Structure 1
Amino acid sequence: MRMLRGKWCAVKRFNFTTAIVVGMDVVGYERRYCYELRGEAQAALLAWDGDGHPSGPWIKCKGAGIDLLNPAFC
């Protein structure tokens, strides 16, 4: 877990992906960046400064009102 630009971020396993979750608190999180592989998510979190989107082959960014495909895949 890391604090980036005032928001707690961590790697979390989901049913079909592993994600970087952003803005964690006691209720949940603000958004997540879904990766196919855990190692890719971990490396991206370590390299990310919290500005823009993280690096690596994230598939989707999801959250309240957010459903973004990685522009690198379009």
Structure 2
Amino acid sequence: MGMTLRTSDEQTEALRRQAAAEGRSMQAVALSAIDEYIARRAHTERVDAALQRVVADEAGVLERLKNA
């Protein structure tokens, strides 16, 4: 599915420079950035979920440590 992405002049120029530096198209660089953003967000969500499980599972130990 296609989409139109509107960027500021500054963003477009920065993207153009980055694409030229990498020898890639602006589209390839933008798609890579989107993929990295999505992966980073998914990772953060997994870490947050794991932390919540640990806190719930170890609530008693954490409470004892807090009061030690």
Higher helix share: 2
Higher strand share: 1
How would you bin the TM-score normalised by the shorter chain? under 0.3
Quick check: which has more Rg, 1 or 2? Answer: 2
Q: More relative contact order in 1 or in 2 (CA 8 Å, sep 6+)?
A: 1
TM-score for both structures, normalised by structure 1: 0.26
TM-score for both structures, normalised by structure 2: 0.28
